[in-house]
Amino acid sequence: MKLLILGATGPTGNHALTRALDHGDDVHILVRSPEKLGDLAGRVAVTAGDARDADCVVRAMDGCDAVISALGRGGSPRHGDLFTDAASAVVAAAQRTGVRRLVWMSSFGVGDTIRTATLTQRLGYRTFLRGIFANKAAAEEFLRASDLEWTFVYPTALTNGPARGGCRVGESLRMHGMERVSRADVAAFMHEEAHAGRWLRRGVVISG
């Protein structure tokens, strides 16, 4: 598969990048700082640019079979319209290139997923993370209105631990305390979903 990964130098996107390479995909990435790739730079097709710029996304997306977006704010609660701007750019680029498949990483607590959150989770989502979650929800509404074959992936709190496998996945999961899932497991699920397409035009919650 010819696969474009957005956010490939981020902590989750880097796991998706290495997994895709290990599985023999023809990997393309769009990054603002290619120097962050280190030794991986020679194994991927690199487009330098911004995921919020449709022209940059077109250059990276052209000829690809699917897109994985692991864009994030690196723990900052300030969104800067990242997700809505990137969603707009991805839709515009998809219209110009003909690419339709998109696996988009969101967060548990965005949109309707908050219905099964614990009280502790809701407190964090509605205070500290309120702005960034609102921007993620708006981006998803924009993507839902497109003709893309999207899948939204909603991980619980992300950790930097190794992949463990055996994650709980479903359109709705009942939470028990402060649930977590490793970035490696999320990346593995997103990569698999880009190939398998089991959750087309649906959202899926993932937790360890």
Tens of pLDDT, residue by residue, the chain (208 residues): 999 999 999 999 999 999 999 999 999 999 999 998 988 889 999 999 999 999 999 999 999 999 999 999 766 556 579 999 999 999 999 999 999 999 999 999 999 998 888 888 877 777 778 899 999 999 999 999 999 999 999 999 999 999 999 999 999 998 988 899 999 999 999 999 999 999 999 999 999 9
What confidence score (pLDDT) does residue 128 get?
73
CA separation for the pair 74, 92 (Å, rounded): 25
DSSP string, the chain: -EEEEESTTSHHHHHHHHHHHHTT-EEEEEES-GGGGGGGGGGSEEEES-TT-HHHHHHHHTT-SEEEE----TT-S--TTHHHHHHHHHHHHHHHH---EEEEE--TTSGGGGGG--HHHHHHHHTTTHHHHHHHHHHHHHHHTSS-EEEEEEESEEE-SPP----EEESS----SS-EEEHHHHHHHHHHHHHH-TTTTEEEEEE-
Q: Which of 99, 82, 207 is nearest to 148 (CA)?
A: 99
Q: How many residues does the chain have?
A: 208
* Amino acid at site 181: V
Q: Is-contact 21 40, C-beta < 8 A?
A: yes
Q: Which CATH superfamily is domain 2-207 in?
A: NAD(P)-binding Rossmann-like Domain (3.40.50.720)
Domain ranges of the chain: 2-207
List the one residue out of 147, 134, 64, 78 whose CA is nearest residue 106: 134
Cβ contact 176:125 at 8 Å = no
Amino acid code (one letter) for 132: I
State how far Cα 2 lies from the chain centre.
17
Q: What is the DSSP letter of 50?
A: -
Q: What pLDDT was estimated at residue 163?
A: 94
Please report, in angstroms and rounded to a whole number, the separation of the first and last CA atoms in the chain: 27
Nearest partner of 201 among 166, 162, 156, 149, judged by Cα: 149
pTM for the structure as a whole: 0.94
